[in-house]
Structure 1
Amino acid sequence: MSCLRGATAALIFFAGAAFAQPGSTELPLNQAISLAIERDPWFLASEQAQQAQSLRENAVASRPSPSLSVTIANLPVDSFSLQQEPMTQLRVGVSQALPRGESVALNRQQQRLMANRHPVERQQRIARVALTVTRHYIAYAQARQHGVLINANIDLFEQLRESTASAYQSGVGSVRQQDVLDARLALVKLKEQRASVLQREEQALASLAALTAMPSATLTLPPTLPAVPLSVELTESPLPDAWLSARLTQHPSVVVLAVDHAVADKSVALARQQHAPQWALNGSYGYRADNHDGASRADFFSVGVSLDLPLFNEAANDSAVRAAFAESESIETRRRARIRDLMIRVRSERAVLRRLYERKTMYESEILPQSRDYAEATLDAYTAAQGDVETVLDARRAHLEAEIALLSITSDIAQTRATLAYLTTQATSEK
C-alpha cells in the first residue's frame, strides 16, 4: 500500500518534476514527497478505518436473529398436572422479524459509501503532504541561494573594509574615520543577515527531515528551486470556465463532500423506511400429554404473521425524514461552496502569478542590469580615487537587495505554482 501511495503522489501532483541525475546523492522533490507519504502514520490509520468500515458493512447486512420461546400453557393451579385438562400443553415457538422495507440493502449501501470515503481522504492527504513538502523544499532552496548571494558580497565588503582602513591609516585620499566605520558596519550587518538566512535554511531542512523521517545530517537537497509543472489551461488567459469547473469538481476535498452527500441521501431513504410496516413470522408446536385413562390427545401446530402499523409515530417519522433531507441539502450546499472557494483561490493565485512574472521580467531586463552597472561604476570610480566608500556601499547594498528581490519573486512563483497544482488536483480511483 505504501508503494501505491508513493505512486499516487507522483501521479496526481508533481508528475512532471525532474529527478536528480544518476549517481547524485541529493534527494529530489518527487522522492521527498514519496518518502513523506510512505512514512506518514496517518495513512495506516486511514487504511485500518476503511477495513473496519468494510467489516461493519457485513454486520449491518444480517437479518435479526430468530426468537425461541418455550411456554407451558393452561396449567391447572389446583394440581399442576399436565394430564388433568385437555387445554394444557407444552408449547415451543419460533418467531422471525423481517426488516422494514429495504432498510437492510440501504444500510449496506450506506456503509459501503462510507468505506469508499477513505481512499478519497487519502488522496486529499497526499495532495496536502505534497504541497507541504514542496513549500519547505522551495524555502530551503531560496535560503540556500540567498546565502550564496550574501557570501559573494561579504568577500567584496571585506575587501572594501580592508582597503578603507588601510587608506585611512596611511592618510591616502580623502578617506574619513566615518568611512571606516561605515564599511565595518555594512560588513557586520551582512554577516548577521547571513546568520538569519542560515537559520531559515536549517529550519526548512529540519522540517523536511521530520516529514521524510530522515536524519538532518544525512539529508542533502538540491540548491536550485524545483520546477513545478502546471496544466496548459492554467497558464492560458483567459482560463476556460468549463475546464476549471470540471477540474475543481474532481478535487479530493470536493469528492469527499460528494460522498458525504451520497451517504446523507441513503439516510433520507432509511428514514423513509420507518413508514413501512415491519413484518414478523411465527410458528409454534404445542405438546399435550395423554389423559388419566391413557387416551391420546392430539398435539397442536400454529403459524402466524404479525406486523406493526406505524400509525401513532407518523409525525415523528416525518420529522426524521425532513431532518435527514435537510442534512443532505446542507452537505450539497457545502460542496458547491467548496467549489466556489476553490475557484476564487485559483483565479486569485493566477492573478498573483501573472504579476509575479511581470515583476520578474522587469527585474531581469531592467532593474538588475542597471543596479549592477551602477555598482560597478561606483567601484571603478572609488578605485580611481574619484568616489567615496559610502557611495560604493550604498550601490552594492542596492544591487544585493535587487538580487534578493528577484530571488524572492522567483521563489514566490514556485510557491504559487505549487498552490495552483494543489488546488487543481484531481481525485483518482484507488485500486
Structure 2
Amino acid sequence: MSNGTLAMSMPRVRWPWLLSCALLLLMMSAAATPAAPADEQPAQDSAAKESAENGLTIEAAVSLATSAADPSVTRFSVRAQALDSEAVADSQLPDPMVSAQVMNVPVDTFSLDQEGMTQALRLGLRQEFPAGRTLDVRGRQRNAEAEAERARRDEALRRIALETRTAWLELAWQRRAVDVLQQSRGRIEQQIESLQSRFATGGLNAQSLLRSELELSLLDDRIAEHRRMAENARAALARYIGSEAYRRVPDGLPEFELGSTQLDQLERHLVDHPEITARQSLAEAADQGIELARQAYKPKLAVEAGYGFRSERPDLASIGVSLTVPLFTGQRQDKRHEAAVQRSRAAQFELDNRLRDLRRQLDEALSDWLRYQERIALYEQVVNQRAEQTVEASITTYANGQTDFAELIRSQLAALDVQIKQAELAARAGKAWARITYLVGEQS
C-alpha cells in the first residue's frame, strides 16, 4: 500500500496525541540547544552567506595582499624610520666635554698651598662645532635615504599587486581548463559506453574502441596536469593572502582595459615609478655627499672655558677658541671630494640604467597586450565558429557512416583545445595588463 493509504487507514483519535508529542519534542530541543546571541547570529549568517556566494575576485585578492603586514614591505618602513632617527641624531652638535684637573702641583711636597700658581681644582667645558654646514648636510643626506626606503616600500606594494594578479590569473585559467576538460571527458565517456555496446554486438572493431579509451586516458592526464598547475598558482597566491587563496575563484576571467595604448604616453608615467623615485632619492643623497665633502675644506671650531680654584690667591678663569687649519688637502679633502663626485655619477648612471630597463619592460608588456588582444579577437570571431562547425560536420558524417569514430574524437578534441587556448590567451593578456599596471600605475 502507498503511504497515503496507510495514513488514511490510521484511527483519527491518534492524531492529537501525535501532534502533542511532536510539539513537546520541539520545545525540548529548543531548550537544550543554546541560542546564539542576537547580535552575533545575523553576523554569522551573513559571513557564511558571503563566503558561500562571493568568489575571490582578482581585485579582492589584491586588496587583501596589499593590506596585509607583509615582511617584504614592513622592512622598508622600518629602515625609513631608522634613517629618520639618524637624520635627527646626525644634525645635533657633539656632546660637550667637561674636564676636572689639579694643576701646577709641586712635586717635592705635593702641597696645594705651597705655590701661588697651584690650582687645587680646575673645571673646564669644551664644545666642538663641525666644519661649515656639516650637521645640516648630514641630516638632509639621511632624509634623502629615508625617502628612498619609503619609495622602495611603495615599489614592494606594486610588486605584491603584480604577483597577486599573476597568480590569480594563472589559477583562474587553470581551473577553467580543468572544468572544460571534465565536461568534455563526460561526453567522451558517454560515447565510449555506446561504442562498448556496439562492440559487444559485433558492430564495431576493437581499434576504434581502444582509440577512444586512449583519448580518455590522455584527457585524464591533462586534467591532472592542469590541476597541478592550479595548485601551484594557489600556493603562490596563498603566499600573500593566506587561507583566503582557497576561496572559490569566479568562473569567467575579467576583462581589462588600458587608459592608453600609445607607448610614448605610457612612458611618461615611468618617471613616477617608485623604483625611479628611490633611485632619484639615492642620487640626491649622493649629491649631499659631495656637499658634505666640501664642508671638510672649512675649519672646525672648538670653544673652551675653564675656572681654576686656588687656596690663598684669586681664582683663575680662562676662555679660548681652537680652529683646525686644513692646509694640506691634496691627500685627504681632495680625495674625499673626488670619491663623493664619483659616487654621485654612479648613482645617476644607475638611475638612467633602471629607467631604460623599465622602458624595455613596458615596450614588451604593451606589445604582448596588443598581440594577445588580436589573437583573442581572432578566436572569438573566427576560430570558435570554425571549431563548432567542424564538430557538427564530423557528427553528421559519422552518423552517415562517411567517417570513423577517431575523426569524430579528433574534431571534438580540437574544439576542446580551442576553448582552453582562448582561456589561456585571456589569462596571458591579463598578465600583460598587470605588468603594465605595475610599471605605469593604476590608470583611470
Q: Give the TM-score taking structure 1 as reference length.
A: 0.85
What amino acid sits opposite 1:270 in the alignment? L
What amino acid sits opposite 1:151 in the alignment? Q
Contact 2:267 2:440 survives alignment (8 Å) = no
2:110 counterpart of 1:88? no
Question: Aligned partners of 2:352, 2:244: CA distance in 1, in Å?
Answer: 43
Offset at residue 304 of structure 1 (A): 1.1
Offset at residue 116 of structure 1 (A): 2.2
Superimposed CA distance per residue, residues 70-119 of structure 1 (whole angstroms, 9 cap, x where no aligned partner): 23332222222233322222432222111111011111112222222232
2:423 maps to which of 403, 407, 412: 407
Q: Which residue of structure 1 aligns with residue 279 of structure 2?
A: 257
- Identify which range, 208-217 or 300-309, moves more after superposition: 208-217
Q: Which residue of structure 2 aligns with residue 189 of structure 1?
A: 218
Offset at residue 22 of structure 1 (A): 11
Contact 2:74 2:153 survives alignment (8 Å) = no
Q: Which residue of structure 1 aligns with residue 15 of structure 2?
A: none
Contact 1:252 1:425 survives alignment (8 Å) = no
Q: Which residue of structure 2 aligns with residue 311 of structure 1?
A: 327
Q: Which residue of structure 2 aligns with residue 35 of structure 1?
A: 64
Contact 2:123 2:306 survives alignment (8 Å) = yes
Q: Which residue of structure 2 aligns with residue 278 of structure 1?
A: 300
Offset at residue 305 of structure 1 (A): 0.9
Q: Which residue of structure 2 aligns with residue 6 of structure 1?
A: none
What amino acid sits opposite 1:201 in the alignment? A
Q: Which residue of structure 1 aligns with residue 31 of structure 2?
A: none
Within 5 A, what are the aligned runs for 1:93-242?
A: 93-172=124-203, 175-214=204-243, 219-230=247-258, 232-233=259-260, 235-236=261-262, 239=263, 241=264
Question: Aligned partners of 2:330, 2:123: CA distance in 1, in Å?
Answer: 35
What amino acid sits opposite 1:369 in the alignment? Q
Offset at residue 343 of structure 1 (A): 1.0
Offset at residue 192 of structure 1 (A): 1.6
Contact 1:164 1:389 survives alignment (8 Å) = no
- Identify which range, 89-98 or 126-135, moves more after superposition: 89-98
Contact 1:251 1:426 survives alignment (8 Å) = no
Superimposed CA distance per residue, residues 260-315 of structure 1 (whole angstroms, 9 cap, x where no aligned partner): 1111111111122111110111122222322xxxxxx3322221111011223542
2:92 maps to which of 62, 70, 94: 62
What amino acid sits opposite 2:80 in the alignment? Q
Q: Which residue of structure 2 aligns with residue 381 of structure 1?
A: 397
2:309 maps to which of 283, 287, 291: 287
What amino acid sits opposite 1:336 in the alignment? D
Contact 2:169 2:430 survives alignment (8 Å) = yes
Superimposed CA distance per residue, residues 37-57 of structure 1 (whole angstroms, 9 cap, x where no aligned partner): 233233333333332222222
Offset at residue 24 of structure 1 (A): 3.7
Question: Aligned partners of 1:145, 1:373: CA distance in 2, in Å?
Answer: 23
Offset at residue 331 of structure 1 (A): 1.1
What amino acid sits opposite 2:128 in the alignment? A
2:74 maps to which of 41, 44, 49: 44
User: CA RMSD, aligned part only?
Assistant: 2.2
Closer, same or farther: CA 282–147 of 1 in aligned 2, 3 Å: same
What amino acid sits opposite 2:66 in the alignment? I
Closer, same or farther: CA 135–378 of 1 in aligned 2, 3 Å: same
Report how many aligned residue pairs link the two structures. 392
What amino acid sits opposite 1:225 in the alignment? L
What amino acid sits opposite 1:347 in the alignment? D
Which 5+ residue runs of structure 1 have no aligned equivalent?
Answer: 1-20, 291-296
Instruction: Describe the SS at the equivalent of 1:325.
Output: helix
Question: Aligned partners of 1:121, 1:363: CA distance in 2, in Å?
Answer: 41
What amino acid sits opposite 2:117 in the alignment? M
Q: Which residue of structure 2 aligns with residue 334 of structure 1?
A: 350
Q: Which residue of structure 1 aligns with residue 270 of structure 2?
A: 248
Question: Aligned partners of 1:250, 1:210: CA distance in 2, in Å?
Answer: 28
Contact 2:147 2:278 survives alignment (8 Å) = no
Q: Identify which of structures 1 and 2 has the higher relative contact order when contacts are C-alpha pairs closer than 8 Å and 6+ apart.
A: 1
Offset at residue 146 of structure 1 (A): 0.9
Offset at residue 140 of structure 1 (A): 1.2
Q: Give the TM-score taking structure 2 as reference length.
A: 0.83
